[in-house]
Amino acid sequence: MRHSRLSLLALVTAATLSGCASAAKPSSTPTPARDTTRAAPGLGGVSTPNADPFPSTYVRFPSAPLVIRNVNIFTATGPLIRNGAIAVADGKIIAVGQTVETPAGARVIDGNGKYVTPGIIDTHSHIGAGGAPGTQANSDVNEATNPVTANVWVEHSVWPQDPQIPRDLAGGVTTFQVLPGSANLIGGRSVVLKVVPSRTVQGMKFPGAKYGLKMACGENPKRVYAQRGPSTRMGNVAGYRAAWIQAEQYRRRWDKWNADHKGDPPARDLGLETLAEVLRGNMLVHNHCYRADEMAQMIDISKEFGYKIRAFHHGVEAYKIADILAKEGIGGSLWADWGAFKMEALDGVKANIALVDRAGARVAVHSDDPSGSQRLNQEAAKAMAAGNLAGIPVTEEQAVKWLTINPAWQLGIDDKTGSLEPGKNADLILWNADPFSVYAKPEKVWIDGALLYDRLDPRQQWRTDFELGFVPAGASR
Amino acid sequence: MTRTISWAFAVVGLSAALLGTAGLADAQTIAITGGKVYPVSSAPIENATVLIRDGKIVAVGANVSVPADARRIDASGKWVTPGFINSSTQLGLVEVGQIQQTHEDVARGKDFIAAAFTVWDGLNSQSVMLAPARKEGVTSVVVIPQGNLLVSGQAAMLDLVDGMPSDMVIRAPVAMVSQVQSPTSAGASARGELLLRLRELIEDTRAYMRNRAAFERHETRDFIASRLDLQAMIPVVEGRLPLLIGADKATDIDAALKLARDNGLKIMIGGGAEGWMVANRLAAARVPVLTGAMNNIPGSFTTLGQIQENAGLLRRAGVPVLLIGNSGSGDEETFNVRNLKQEGGNAVAYGMSWEDALRSVTLTPAEVFGVADRIGSLQPGREANVVVWTGDPFEFSTKVEHVFVRGRESVQPTRQDLLTERYKTLPPSPANPIR
């Protein structure tokens, strides 16, 4: 089923409206997934675990069932299926294999010689918060006014009309995490978004995804706060620990009040509320950290206060402590070949991803860059080649995981997306060639079974409001 | 204590010796046989031999007799190309991007003019950034002064040959660097004012040329630039030295073309994000464009029309295109001069022919910068800058098997190789913790 541009826009409207109209169901199990319980009106002063004041209104776009057959399929769980088939209905994958049954009314695509992979997941993006064109007016990534800003939520910085969003989709990215910047020791809440056209940020929010907390080690915070402090790495560590000490006290006070409702509730504090959610295990910690020695210290801090680090981001020295990361169950969101641009990045090596993968830690290729995010398949290809060159054999099946199921795990959504298995969201890419070739491009991209990008059909290439008039039409992506 | 010091000295001495001599194997007679050879200056030759002697290519072809004393390299099933040329780098000028004391790429200048600045004089030929680029097939680079001044200085073409800066320079200068898109960094507050100052500089250079004696006697009016800057501008206004003009927006490119027409300048365009919109004008003026193939974000108001097809569309219109690496973003660029091949592959993916993409990283830059008699193709008499690849150079899975610069093979491990080796087994061996 193909939508014209007009009908696509109409669908956005319909999706948003139906999302608003649907009633939230209260949940009796607040953890582990963020539930949809909403505080009753007037309870804004109450610090409730898993409160969801800006709930997702995303509803999948309507779509007919789909079969792609005669296509090479990287499932991200098993070996490459050559000349296989995949079937999708109601937004979910219903079958993957050598052959599949075609559901009634399905659009059937012959994928002769082409490849299918799960949609790419970028764990580290600032798209939307640092919109294009880059201006001070659109610079909303770093709340660089205090070294600890656990109180900010990056979704309040995201501009859904950022022209970088549809370009990410054209690069095969179907889900991304927007993080606050790394100026601060604790930068605030992240948000996990689907790469879909929407008038509102809420309309992009991945239903059921947990929030993340951005933390940052090393040079950036001590450079930004050189005058007022922290101005040293020891100052950085003192800053994290002071924040967690306060958070632990806050968590105790509120957990007690939430249990007995005795007396007035304690005063609510947005920053401590976020940190308390981390301590309760309701949020995932994403820690920007370059150096091996600093990562090891951050692990100790997490143990001191009883939280888990889900993934180190950038981690150019992760290969030096790959065994420790594997043992601690911490993922790595890493670059293929960035390094050497600052002192803490000096020891970047191209075999980093392969070495960390070999040690058994869950590794993702991340971008931190709106341009690189569009070509994460190429970044993975570079990292795979570097591993092979260094004598660490990496298969394409393995490298696909760096783009899909591993980042899904880092974001806590691996039960919903990141691999091609029955029951999972039908987030997938049809590539015109082997995705690890420099010549490969996503030809079609589906999110929850709906075709949202088609390189061969200009009417299926979403243009943001900003682009109308400003950016010449007809320039394909 | 004494022992420790002398040990340390011994290590330093050894390292220096290694750096000085072992980086590139000695020049000799080398025959690369049996490969698919892309001379670039002519059609590819199957099962061909490239014969190298004393640093130069002496023969290329299917029927080349190999001297008995030659070192033979079997390139059967391999691809052989000229070394790649990255035409826009700060290699050897910037060691660590965020460490100011390792920057030699920006001149202060006088009144936003630094025409006399010869950036290669600050070159660090011992930079650890050279080896990663060379290891992945880049054998020559243009080093370009930064700063976005009205005139930022002069660029040079270098070979990534082991040695001192004077050994590396192939030709200097190869271009004078200017721009027409950032008024504030050029001492102006509007594009019109920036262009006015450029015209004034050209006019004053001509006045200086006519009245040099009077200038020395302090008998001329004041000029916009200093004596040395005016002198440096003479070959530019005479149309002998190209002016490399930074311009992304179509209207800025048009302004650069007009400046060249009105003043008889030889120019090239750097960036050229919206070049495709004025491709026919660029082609008619025979103006080359240095651009990347991985940029499609309207990242600023000067690049709203930036598309990945740009390089291919320019080429199709007949514009000489020089692919450059990392023109998109990122302060990791010195480290990733090596990613030029990725630009080549993406140019092909977005519409450029494969042959044109190879040319845009070899012979075209050599021609445009006036060094095609030295580098950029595999022909007798050229420097033996030769790369042996296991396959298509643009593909990620392709390995670089041999890199020759002026006939010497690069064998020095990179800093990254040493680190990878050190941490390949974890935890590092307690018996030998400082391998």
Choose among B315, B323, B236, B320: nearest CA to B271.
B323
Query: Quick one: pLDDT at residue B7?
Result: 34
* Residues B280-297: tens digit of each pLDDT: 999 999 999 999 999 999
What's the average model confidence in pLDDT over A360-372?
97
Please list every residue in chain B whose beta carbon sits closer than 8 Å to the beta carbon of residue A337. 332, 335-336, 338-339
Instruction: Report chain A residues whose CB lies below 8 A from the CB of B346.
Output: 375, 378, 438
Higher per-residue pLDDT: A340 or A27: A340
The DSSP code for B94 is: B
Quote the pLDDT of residue B287: 98
Give the Cα separation of A357 and B356 in Å (integer): 38
User: Which pLDDT tens digit goes with each residue over A295-335?
Assistant: 999 999 999 999 999 999 999 999 999 999 999 999 999 99
Contacts of B112 (CB under 8 A, 6+ apart): B149, B150, B151, B185, B186, B187, B197
Peptide bond connecting B365 to the previous residue in cis, omega within 30 degrees of 0: no
**Residue A38 confidence (pLDDT) above 60:** no
**Identity of the residue in A163, A340, A439 whose CB atom sits nearest the CB atom of B298:** A163
Set of chain B residues whose Cβ sits within 8 Å of the Cβ of A340: 96-97, 129, 332, 334-335
**Do the chains contact at A349 and B420, CB–CB below 8 Å?**
yes
Is residue A360 scored above 70 in pLDDT?
Answer: yes
Residue among B86, B149, B92 nearest B119 (CA): B92
Q: Please indicate whether, in this complex, the C-beta atoms of B97 and A369 are within 8 angstroms of each other.
A: no
Give the pLDDT confidence score for residue B334 in this predicted structure.
87
Strand partners, A288: A216, A313
User: Which H or E run includes A239?
Assistant: helix A233-260
Are B396 and A381 in contact by the 8 Å Cβ rule? The answer is yes
pLDDT category of residue A14 using cuts at 50, 70 and 90 = very low
pLDDT at B57 over 90: yes
Residue A16 has pLDDT above 80, yes or no: no
Rounded-to-10 torsion of CA B17, B21, B22, B23: 110
Q: Which residues of B touch A383 (CB under 8 A)?
A: none
**Average pLDDT value over all residues in chain A:** 92
* Average of per-residue pLDDT values in chain B: 92
Burial of residue B226, with CB atoms counted within 10 A of its CB: 0-12 exposed, 13-18 middle, 19 or more buried = middle
Is pLDDT above 90 for A272?
A: yes
Give the pLDDT of residue B186: 98
Q: Which residues of B touch A467 (CB under 8 A)?
A: 298
Reference A89, options A129, A130, A60; nearest CA is: A60
How far off is chain B from A306, nearest CA to CA, in Å?
A: 26
% chain A with pLDDT above 70? 90
Res. B333 pLDDT band, cuts 50 70 90: confident
Over residues B399-419, mean pLDDT: 94
The predicted pLDDT at position A25 comes to 38
How confident is the model at residue B26, as a pLDDT? 60
DSSP 3-state percent helix, strand, coil across chain B (nearest 5): 30, 25, 45
Q: To the nearest whole percent, how much of chain A has pLDDT over 90?
A: 88
The confidence band for A474, taking pLDDT boundaries of 50, 70 and 90, is: low
* Bridge partners of residue B169, in order along the sequence: B158
Q: How confident is the model at residue B429 (pLDDT cuts 50, 70, 90)?
A: confident
Asked if A337's CB is within 8 angstroms of B307's CB, the reply is: no
Q: What was the pLDDT predicted at B24?
A: 59
Widest Cα–Cα separation across chain B: 77
Contact at CB, B426 and A441, closer than 8 angstroms? no
Contacting B residues, span 351-410, partner chain A, CB-CB under 8 Å: 394-397, 399
CB of A74 closer than 8 Å to CB of A115: yes
Residue percentage of chain B with pLDDT more than 70: 91
Task: Report residue B214 as tokens.
Answer: 């009077």
Q: Please name the residues between 96 and 135 in chain B that touch chain A, using a CB distance below 8 Å.
A: 96-99, 129
Q: Which of A353, A396, A371, A374 is nearest to A120 (CA)?
A: A374
Least Cα distance to B299 among A133, A262, A49 occurs for A133
Best probe of the A interface among B124, B249, B278, B297, by most A CBs < 10 A, is B297
What are the start-end ranges of the H helices in B103-217? 130-135, 165-168, 191-210, 212-216
Q: What would the mean pLDDT of B94-106 be, rounded to a whole number?
A: 94
Contact across the interface for A349 and B416, Cβ inside 8 Å: yes
Give the pLDDT confidence of B335-349 residue by residue, as tens digits. 999 999 999 999 999
Residue ranges and CATH numbers for the domains of chain B are: 2-82+382-425 (2.30.40.10), 84-368 (3.20.20.140)
Please identify among residues 206-245 of chain A the ones whose CB lies closer than 8 Å to any CB of chain B: 219
Q: Cβ of A476 and B307 within 8 Å?
A: yes
Task: List all residues of chain B from 256 to 285 with a beta carbon under 8 Å from chain A.
Answer: 277
Per-residue model confidence (pLDDT) at position B325: 78
Where do we find the tokens 């640092």? A130
Tokens linked to B412: 């020095």
A190-244 pLDDT, tens digit each? 999 999 999 999 999 999 999 999 999 999 999 999 999 999 999 999 999 999 9
How much of chain B exceeds pLDDT 90, in percent?
88
- Within 8 A of B345 by CB-CB distance, chain A residues are 438-439
Chain B positions touching A439 (Cβ under 8 A) are 345, 348-349, 394
Contact A350 B416 (CB under 8 A): yes
Rounded Cα–Cα distance for residues A466 and A344 (Å): 37
Contacts of B399 in chain A (CB under 8 A): 385, 389
94-133 in A: which are within 8 Å (CB) of B? 132-133
3-state secondary structure of B211: coil
A17, pLDDT greater than 70: no
Give B305→chain A minimum CA distance, Å.
5
Choosing among A337, A356, A470, which should be mutated to test the B contact, i.e. which has the most B CBs within 10 A? A337
Token digits for A476?
A: 């394909």
Q: What is the pLDDT of residues B299-321, one digit of tens each?
A: 999 999 999 999 999 999 999 99
